[in-house]
Structure 1
Amino acid sequence: MARPRKDVKFQHQVRSASNGRTRRLSQSMSEYSEPGSPTTKDEVTPSVSELPQTEYEKKKANFITRTVWTLVMIAFFFGSLSAGHLYIIIIVTAVQVISFKEVIAIANVPSRARSLRFTKSLNWYFLGTAMYFLYGESVIYYFKHVLMVDRLLLPLATHHRFISFMLYIIGFVFFVFSLQKGHYKFQFTQFAWTHMALFLIVGQAHFVINNIFEGFIWFILPVSMVITNDIWAYLCGITFGRTPLIQISPKKTWEGFLGAWFFTVLWGILITHFLAEYKYFICPVNDLGATIWSGLECRPNPVFLARNYSVPFLPAGLPIPRTFNIMPVQFHVIMLGTFASLIAPFGGFFASGLKRTFKIKDFGDSIPGHGGMTDRMDCQFIMGSIAFFYYSSFIAVYHTTVGGVIEAAITGLTYEEQMEVVKIMTKNLVNHDIISPKVLELLSAQLVRG
């Protein structure tokens, strides 16, 4: 009879433990239920939205988000493009500021940055100084005819580089004064990291701004080539990619690399043929208020004027034309397409190596579905620089400009000599029946009274 009593006792203990677990479960469920509402079986059953997403659902949601934001960015870009050069410059400025913030953030240690209150302030101060210097260089170069005749802006334009240098020196001195014992390594790391970001982002964005001033085509062409190359590298890679290209980016293949080059050059030839038909795209900026509806006027660069080219060493009798009428810019497009395919991707490889160094997937989450701004612009910055230097070396036509003449006259001539220049220029315009002789008479009378 002892055994049954033990069994009864054991069963009683099991029931007590079970009842205890049930009571604790009921109490924990009641904590998550609204006061006064009964806890039912339906309330503890997770809804469909609370169920963990499958890998397919995650990829689908990310694809939808990525596509929507891509279309939004494309629409915003074309809207700004039609609104004028100033709006595109604002976009480029916003892109470089966001990219600078993302790059600075990955090497930042928040706890130390909080204890060193001037660390972040110095980062942004150096950014502002660099932008003042580089933007000022561009504005002075392209708008001398405006700045050199304005009493307020003339001193800023004349002494721009010295002012910029002194602004930097102020930041440098302030950095040295802010050094604190026990934080030297962190502070100098931040100082070097800031300058690297300024060089790689702000410095290269400066050349993108110059491309805009030289004509929209020199901005649109490099940007669209990088995008085209990225798309076709992916399509060609997943279609017939077999041979790995570079270790730092294992998914890149030689087949995708070369296939993207062909389609990038083809795209460049087609888009250039379209853009060259409109002066709004090929004229340098002489009016920041111009839009796609008002247009621009200029003397086109000779590379946009079609010429006849003969194909050498072509055997006679072949049903192939020996002469082609083509714009010289199309030959330059082949070179730019090659740079966009063979050199610009290394900006992406550099960014990939940087992210692997800090063990991060993206630079940020500025663009939903796309990651950070830097993730999308890593190739664009270097391509913008390549396009500017190639344009300056092989395409730009250097001749006397209105701004150049005015700068030389104002900075190199006395007031009496400047008046003499005005008189001679007026006489020249009168001789060509551009203005009335009365203007010359009035000017001569004013000079006599003076």
Structure 2
Amino acid sequence: MAKSHRGVKFPHRKGSGTNEGRRSSFSDISEAASEPVSPLKDAKDKLLDPAPAESSEYEKKKQTFITRSIWTFVMIGAFFASMFMGHIYIIAIVTAVQIISFKEVIAIANVPSRARKLRFTKALNWYWLATTMYFLYGESVIYYFKHIVLVDKVLLPFATHHRFISFVLYTIGFVFFVASLQAGQYRFQFTQFAWTHMALYLIVVQAHFIMNNVFEGMIWFFLPVSLVIFNDIFAYLCGITFGRTQLIKLSPKKTVEGFVGAWVLTVVFGVGITNLLMRYKYFICPVNDLGANIFTGLECTPNPVFIPHLYSLPIWFPYFKTVAMAPMQGHILVFATFASLIAPFGGFFASGLKRTFNIKDFGDSIPGHGGITDRMDCQFIMGFFAYMYFHSFIALNKATLGSVIETVITGLTPEEQMELVKGISKHLVNQGVITEGVLDCLNVIVQRR
């Protein structure tokens, strides 16, 4: 009589008592095959001796805590090391976060597409990611480095026609998607199309504004990131200390007391860290040298928002008639409030998304912490807010060297550009910046031309 193998159980299959969809190792399968366990015997062993099960659970939690703690310090150390090494390293980290987060979110939808044997779905996702990043990064480089890009013979065509090139690239992907539609799969494929574009907007586009914050000055990157991190820590501490009332059903452990307590503490933290960062030009100066670091520093004329002003106090302050305060100390109250009351809803949104697909984490990129997206769910909307707020209320509205060069190159004929050069040269001679001999040499060159 042939032996039956129906007694072999695979821990990764549904109904086996472990997380559905998790793959078991070959050692787990071989153990299950070689030592089949009777459910009655297993239950009897647990009733007679529950200590091993409790000890195993304790060891598991202990190991998870140790792993989580180690990787927390690794991430904090890498973050500060990159920030002190220079802006280019932070930009590299933001780029990596964009790509990995997009990969984690798209992976949720790629599983059914493979099951349906749909071709080109994964390739199209990466193509749209590359096209979107080409457009966004090109916009940033052209905006912040016009004085370099527009005077380069090779880069000039790409700079002046950047948006049209980006549109053509996207259109190619759009046409390819329509051509790849298969009968009987239309609804599913259009759902994938919408899912991909949602990921591009919520992750790639918002993370791009975080990168722009780096170009405006390290403080506009560091403050939003640190406010969200410390607000999360304060919410946890306040919640376990005196939390009683549930805040939202999407996150059962969040409490109203922790939410409000974290708001107050985040405001205090924000005021303190801002007072410290404003003292260093490395943090408050826009990027004019991508090779700069914490040791070389940056030089610039500080934005007036960082310069203390005297403010008259109301009449009910008899002992202090005026107070010296930088406007940034008022703006930080808005930043801290948004980080405390609005940014957490990015996390709630991510929680709802994970519940929809019945997953615990978006991935396992960070041991003990889940995926990159799990750690960045609040950072994306916070970075977007910081960019919009800075350009609405803080940025200086004045002409830059890059904008002037762009106007000259795109708005004047070559003859007019030469007249402008001669006019600027004559002005510099009158100001004593250059000698009159330079102007004479320029006139000779122009005449020979």
Structure 1 length as normaliser, TM-score? 0.86
Q: Which residue of 1 aligns with 2:334?
A: 335
2:109 match = 107
Q: CA deviation at 1:354?
A: 0.4
Q: 1:32 to 1:194 in 2, by over 3 A?
A: closer
In structure 2, the residue matched to 1:169 is 171
Q: Which residue of 2 aligns with 1:20?
A: none
Query: 1:48-86: per-residue Cα shift (whole Å, max 9, x none)?
Result: xx9885332222111110111111111111111112111
Offset at residue 112 of structure 1 (A): 3.1
Residue 298 of structure 1 aligns with which residue? 300
Alpha-carbon distance in structure 2 between the residues aligned to 1:240 and 1:251: 12
| Distance in 1 between residues matched to 2:375 and 2:345, nearest whole Å | 13
Determine whether 1:412 maps to 2:404: no
1:81-120 mapped onto 2 (5 Å cutoff)? 81-110=83-112, 112=114, 115-120=117-122
2:203 counterpart letter in structure 1:
I
Distance in 2 (CA, whole Å) between partners of 1:261 and 1:52 is 38
What is the identity, as a one-letter code, of the residue corresponding to 1:125?
Y
Could you say which residue in structure 2 is the equivalent of 1:274? 276
Tell me the equivalent position of 1:21.
none
Q: Deviations over 1:340-361 (max 9, x none)?
A: 0000000000000001111111
Note the alpha carbon deviations across 1:107-165, whole angstroms, 9 max, x for none: 23356367222010000000001101111111111010011001111010101111001
- Whole-angstrom CA distance in 2 between matches of 1:83 and 1:174: 42
SS at match of 1:308: strand
Instruction: Give 1:32 deviation, angstroms.
Output: 7.3
**Preserved contact between residue 226 and residue 379 of structure 1 (Cα < 8 Å):** yes
Residue of structure 1 in register with 2:191 after alignment: 189
SS of structure 2 residue aligned to 1:225? helix
Alignment-derived partner of residue 137 in structure 1: 139
Taking the TM superposition and a 5 Å limit, the aligned residue runs for 1:302-313 are 302-313=304-315
Contact 1:233-1:260 at 8 Å conserved across structures: yes
Q: Which runs of 5+ in 2 are unaligned?
A: 1-29, 36-51
- Aligned equivalents of 1:248, 1:65: Cα separation in 2: 26
Q: Is contact 2:113–2:121 with CA below 8 Å preserved after alignment?
A: no
Residue in 1 that maps onto 2:426: 427
1:445 corresponds to: 444
Verify: 1:218 aligned to 2:217, yes or no. Answer: no
State the alpha-carbon separation in 2 of the partners of residues 32 and 91 from structure 1: 47
Aligned residues: CA RMSD = 1.9
1:381-392 correspondence to structure 2 within 5 Å: 381-392=380-391
Partner Cα distance (2:317, 2:279) in 1: 34
Contact 1:113 1:120 (C-alpha < 8 Å) held by counterparts: no
Alpha-carbon distance in 1 for matches of 2:177, 2:424? 53
Q: Which consecutive unaligned segments of at least 5 residues does structure 1 have? A: 1-27, 34-49
Q: Is the 8 A contact 1:430 1:440 kept in 2?
A: yes
Asked whether the equivalents of residues 113 and 119 of structure 1 are also in contact (C-alpha less than 8 Å), the reply is no
> Compared with structure 1, are the counterparts of its residues 32 and 115 closer, same or farther at alpha carbon in structure 2 (3 Å cutoff)?
closer
The whole-number CA distance in structure 2 between the counterparts of 1:217 and 1:428 is 37
Larger radius of gyration: 1
Matched to 1:74, the amino acid is I
Matches within 5 A, 1:22-421: 54-110=56-112, 112=114, 115-316=117-318, 320-421=319-420
> Which residue type is aligned with residue 118 of structure 2?
L
Structure 1 residue 322: Cα displacement = 2.9
CA distance in 1, matches of 2:116, 2:360: 25
| CA distance 1:315–1:118, change in 2 (3 Å) | closer
Residue correspondence of structure 1 range 2-21 to structure 2 within 5 A: none
Q: Equivalents in 2 of 1:346, 1:304: separation in Å?
A: 30
| Letter in structure 1 aligned against 2:281 | K
Q: How many residues align?
A: 403
Deviation track 1:265-323 (CA, whole Å, cap 9, x = no partner) reads: 1111111111111111111112211122221121111001111112213253xxx4332
For 2:55 and 2:34, locate their aligned partners in 1 and report how far apart those are by CA, in whole Å: 23
CA contact (8 A) 1:304 1:329 kept: yes
Structure 2: which amino acid aligns with 1:80?
A: S
Distance (whole Å) between structure 2 residues aligned to residue 434 and residue 258 of structure 1: 58
Q: 2:335 touches 2:386 (CA, 8 Å); kept in 1? A: yes
- Per the normalisation by structure 2, the TM-score is 0.87
Deviation at 1:448, TM superposition (A): 2.1
Give identity over the alignment, percent. 68
2:378 is paired with a residue of what secondary structure?
helix
Q: Deviations over 1:323-345 (max 9, x none)?
A: 22111101000000000000000
Change beyond 3 A, Cα 1:122–1:236? same
The amino acid across from 2:414 in the alignment is: Y
What's 1:46 paired with?
none
The residue matched to 1:257 in structure 2 has which SS?
A: helix
Deviation at 1:185, TM superposition (A): 2.1
Q: What SS class does the counterpart of residue 182 from structure 1 fall into?
A: coil
| AA at the equivalent of 2:429 | V
Q: Deviations over 1:182-233 (max 9, x none)?
A: 2222211111100000010011011101101111000000000000100000
Q: d(CA) in 2 for partners of 1:345 and 1:406? A: 42
Moved more, 358-367 or 270-279: 270-279
Q: Is the 1:314–1:322 contact (alpha carbons within 8 Å) kept by the matching residues of 2?
A: no
Q: CA deviation at 1:434?
A: 1.4
- Counterpart for residue 9 of structure 2: none
Letter of the structure 2 residue corresponding to residue 265 of structure 1 = V
Structure-1 separation of matches of 2:213 and 2:314: 35
